[in-house]
Amino acid sequence: MGIFSKSPIQNMESFNCVDLIHPWSKSCIKGNFAMFIDSSKGFFFFFIIMHGVQYLFRLRNKKKIYIRQVLFNFMRSMSFGVSYATLFVTMNCVFLKMMGKFNNTLFVYGSPIICGLPIFFEAPERRKITSTTFMSMFLESFYKILVNRKIIVKSKKFETLLFMLVNAFLMYSLRIRQEFTDKKDTLWIFTPASPRNEDHSGNISHNNEKKCPHEYSCKENIIRKTLKYSVLGLAMALVRFTVYKVMSPLKTQESFFQWRSLQLSYFISAYVFIFETVNCYLCKLDGKHHSIHTFWSGLLSGISYWLSPNLQIMSTAATILLKIQGEELKKKFKLPDLPYGELSFVYSNMFILQRLIFDNQTVPKFFLNLLQFATSKRANITLEAIKRLYII
């Protein structure tokens, strides 16, 4: 991937962890301890927000919440976050002591890989969210590299077309998956309705005679779903706005009711409205419900990306599509039972940290904000030192 696009300086063997990794303290122990304390503070508030939002959505779905479980999961997240941040500093100090001098490979590959391993401390359910978020940031970063190298041109038209395609395959894959499983634990906001209904004896009956896979009349269904998702979109826009405001209080002066903040909810409303309308139209046209309909409905509903061009949305959709296809491949070729989600996190994290070291223009803004917030700005001191000393 040409990671070494900018060359490290010549006499890097003279580098010391004191100058490069923890410039705030001459002692390794004190240097590590300061990162430990600051990331404990930062991640404490970060995970309170993240877990809080997750439980709010759970309450909405009327799922039971057990206090002991909540606290236990919070501790698991904290041990993951704090060891992630601290291990990057610790490993660099350990490698330097072990090798006696600065080793470039260990700096670029060793520490970033090892600091990703604490993902195994997290609760399995939250690992999915974390690995999906990081994989989607990896794709976003990769896309930005292609744009920077002028391999693809940054244009709203191209991005919308790309999203339409990704969305068409995503909707189709989600719909196909529903035929075989009851899996609904996808991280994508919208899942096409399943025509699969079980009668009282447990037999599966496909209700093709009703043509459309929904309870109400077509018109009523479209209005109901669009309204439901508009409210959900508004809630998500509010959460996103609040998190962004808390994480970078200096940068945003805008109000919630501006176009930029509300874009996400307009996107979701238009997305669901177009999807349901096209789906019903195709059902009427064919006389019955085919899974391939979701492909065309997905393709057309992808146009709504135009309202809210956002690489985060695009890369999240692509990540979920890749995950579903990955599961299929695993089944088809009977691949060994490895922790693929966790491994994808370790790889994506290594890739993003390398971009951070060599070219932070291509690092997603969310990651930069996260790092700054979760380490109480301590990581920024390291980053500045790396930029000043390591890169010419």
Q: Does 212 bind Zn ion (CB under 5 A)?
A: yes
Cα–Cα nearest to 352, from 209, 145, 188? 145
- Phi then psi for residue 249, to 5 deg, are -65, -25
Please report how close the Cβ of residue 214 comes to Zn ion at its closest, in angstroms: 6
Among 8, 17, 133, 311, binds Zn ion (CB under 5 A): 17
Does an H or E element contain 241, and which?
A: helix 218-247
Find the binding residues for Zn ion in span 79-118 (CB under 5 A).
93
Binding mask 36-75 for Zn ion (x = CB under 5 A): ----------------------------------------
Non-local CB neighbours of 196 within 8 Å, separated by 6+ positions:
178, 179, 204, 206
* Distances in whole angstroms, Cα of residue 33 to Cα of each of 20, 43, 240, 245, 353: 16, 15, 32, 29, 21
Q: Does 28 bind Zn ion (CB under 5 A)?
A: yes
Cα–Cα distance measured from residue 194 to residue 272, given in angstroms and rounded to the nearest whole number: 15
CA dihedral 86, 91, 92, 97 (to 10 degrees): 130
Q: Does 222 bind Zn ion (CB under 5 A)?
A: no
Please report how close the Cβ of residue 310 comes to Zn ion at its closest, in angstroms: 29
Binding mask 224-253 for Zn ion (x = CB under 5 A): ------------------------------
Q: Does 385 bind Zn ion (CB under 5 A)?
A: no
- For Zn ion, the closer of residues 129 and 389 by Cβ is 389
Please report how close the Cβ of residue 388 comes to Zn ion at its closest, in angstroms: 17
Is beta strand 204-206 parallel, antiparallel or unpaired with respect to 196-198? antiparallel
Find the binding residues for Zn ion in span 256-285 (CB under 5 A).
280
Please report how close the Cβ of residue 153 comes to Zn ion at its closest, in angstroms: 39
- DSSP H helices, 252-362, are 259-286, 293-301, 311-332, 340-358
Find the binding residues for Zn ion in span 274-333 (CB under 5 A).
280
- For Zn ion, the closer of residues 277 and 348 by Cβ is 277
Are 348 and 134 in contact, with CB atoms under 8 Å apart?
yes
- For Zn ion, the closer of residues 114 and 212 by Cβ is 212
Cα–Cα distance measured from residue 202 to residue 183, given in angstroms and rounded to the nearest whole number: 17
Q: Which residues bind Zn ion (CB under 5 A)?
A: 17, 28, 93, 212, 218, 280
